[in-house]
Chains A and B, each alone.
Chain A
Amino acid sequence: MRATILPALLLGFLFGWSLHKAGLTHYARIVNVYRFTDLTVLRFMLSALAVGAVAIAIGGELGFSARVPLPPTTLLANLVGGVIFGVGMAGAGYCPGTIVAEAGEGRLDAWFAGLAGLIVGALLFGLMQPTLMPVLARVGALGRVSFAGLTGASPWLVLLVFVQAVVLTLVLVARAGRPAA
């Protein structure tokens, strides 16, 4: 157990560093992605997704991975959870990671309301879980799958298409943000 503390701390450190350097410790930046007035969050996330997907594939080829963790796909739970998450995120300008990053930056609302809210929210979910999840998690439960695993397509083809879609989105977003010359 102790041997894994250091890599966890290091990965977390770089995670927090990247969040702050992208400017995501600001209320306005998080909220404005939902108003389409500042798409930094989208640029940051899409870059992370594309680079991460390629790096995972390359890491797998290098012999690192037999078991990249896959989240369970449950159509209803993923969607409903996402909607609730989006309401909170657009309302307060928070997601769990940026609350912690804002706390690191010295923001007292994150310390006293954000972190406390995460703990209370976790307790609330703990109370609801036994009645809620057996219902929600059964609709469209596909298991822990990837697109390739679900469709039987080549993972490399999925990767290529995904990266191209991300890059195209980034280009279009950059074009839209630039004033017409």
Chain B
Amino acid sequence: MRRAWSCQRGAPGHPRVGAAGTPDALHQGMRPWLPVLVVCGYLGVAAPVSAQCTSSASSCVTCHETQGLRPVLRSPQPWHADHAFADLCAACHGGDGAAAGKAKAHWGLRSPLADPARACAGCHSSDASARAERYLSRPPAPSPPAPSPPAPSPPTPGAASSDRHAAAAANWILAGLALLLAVGLAVALARRPARPRPGLASWLRQKLWSPYLAGALLGLVVASSEVVWGRPLGVAGAFDKLAAYPGRWLFPHSQYYRYVMTPGITWQVWLVLGLLLGAFASSALSGEARPRWLPDTQWQPRFGPSRARRLVVAFVGAILVQVGAGIAGGCTSGLAISGGAALAPAAFLFMAGMFAGGIPTAWLLYRGRPR
């Protein structure tokens, strides 16, 4: 974890004494950080897209809920809570949940209860008017105020402007402290006694990196994805989108595939393709990319050499994993890591569930086996 953040201060200006103190060693000492520098440079170059609203969810949710411009889900009006199990906004309100700009997203907006036959019948074909009656009979809450222009809200909204600078300084000091802790500790933990530093080429060919280093790289990738592009680093969502192609064909009457999960080659799908390529590149460089049917270790001593057995277990496991991710709202990357890095309670609940399910399963499968 040396100089993880040097990109922000100009990397070449920070000489480090290498293993032998030679310029060459110095040079090599810096080299492993090239990928990190690339990520940081990319973070710096890419234009912020704060004027747009896009995410893996509909842009309605991104603007109204995530940015809090005009939140509806916690309003006293029951219909929003009743339909909050999916991104259904466009199904009732019209508009375009995939559009990035406000004008385009609001094109064809309608007031659902003004014309329930049209707005609700898409899903509730038989009893749309009866359901609308139920809502109409309740007194609606006073209409929310017009949305204020989206201003970037400071971390402490209540602070007077004269205190802003002091608050900002305190924030910077806190952030620096947190960063130092993370980097310093990782340095201490990742350090091995007198290990010769590899050159860039052999470093890229290594089979394993320190998990702290690989994790730090993933952390920068997640942050870049969320802060620059406003998207979680989700994998499971891509498979939901891909499965919608056969899903729409297999279940032509499914409301889910008609309104909630429409097929598409989205950002997440390209992300997954990149993931495939990245793992291939890394394993090819380290000489580990080769076709094989069974895990390299631990599987065969426990479950035997049968390919069919592995395929069945892998198939069922993958189904469980995808269903679980669907219910929870994301997978290890899209919810646990992306949501966790954004400090959302959902991610930590999910991780608690993961261990609550995983520990007994592993115990059952490896009961009485040596560690």
Q: Do chains A and B stick together as partners? A: yes
Stretch in B103-111, B134-142, B210-218 touching the partner: B210-218
Question: Which one of A52, A63, A92 has the greatest number of beta carbons of chain B within 10 Å?
Answer: A52
Docked pose: A114 CA to B279 CA in angstroms = 16
Interface residues on B, range: 35 or more
Q: Are A123 and B243 in contact (CB under 8 A)?
A: yes
Docked pose: A94 CA to B324 CA in angstroms = 12
Q: Are B240 and A125 in contact (CB under 8 A)?
A: yes
Q: Which residue of B239, B314, B363 contacts A35 across the interface (Cβ within 8 Å)?
A: B363
How many A-B Cβ pairs are below 8 Å? 629
Docked pose: A85 CA to B324 CA in angstroms = 4
A-side binding surface: helix, strand, loop or mixed? helix
- In the complex, per-residue mask of A9-28: 1 if CB is within 8 Å of any chain B CB, else 0: 11111111111111101111
Given A67-B66, A71-B335, CB of A54 within 8 Å of CB of B320? no
Is B175's CB within 8 Å of the partner chain A? yes
- In the complex, per-residue mask of B221-244: 1 if CB is within 8 Å of any chain A CB, else 0: 111111111111101100110111
Q: Which residue of A22, A33, A73, A118 contacts B322 across the interface (Cβ within 8 Å)?
A: A118
For chain A, the count of residues having a C-beta within 8 Å of the partner chain is 144
Q: Are A147 and B343 in contact (CB under 8 A)?
A: yes
- In the complex, per-residue mask of A144-178: 1 if CB is within 8 Å of any chain B CB, else 0: 11111010001111111011101100110010000
Q: Are B317 and A91 in contact (CB under 8 A)?
A: yes
Q: Which residue of B216, B318, B346, B354 contacts A72 across the interface (Cβ within 8 Å)?
A: B346
Docked pose: A37 CA to B297 CA in angstroms = 14
The minimal Cβ–Cβ distance linking A60 to chain B, given in whole angstroms, is 6
Given A10-B274, A96-B235, CB of A167 within 8 Å of CB of B185? yes
- In the complex, per-residue mask of A78-118: 1 if CB is within 8 Å of any chain B CB, else 0: 11111111111111111111011111111111101111111
Q: Chain A interface (Cβ within 8 Å of chain B)? A: 4-5, 7-23, 25-28, 31-35, 37, 40, 43-61, 63-75, 77-97, 99-110, 112-130, 132-134, 136-138, 141-148, 150, 154-160, 162-164, 166-167, 170-171, 174
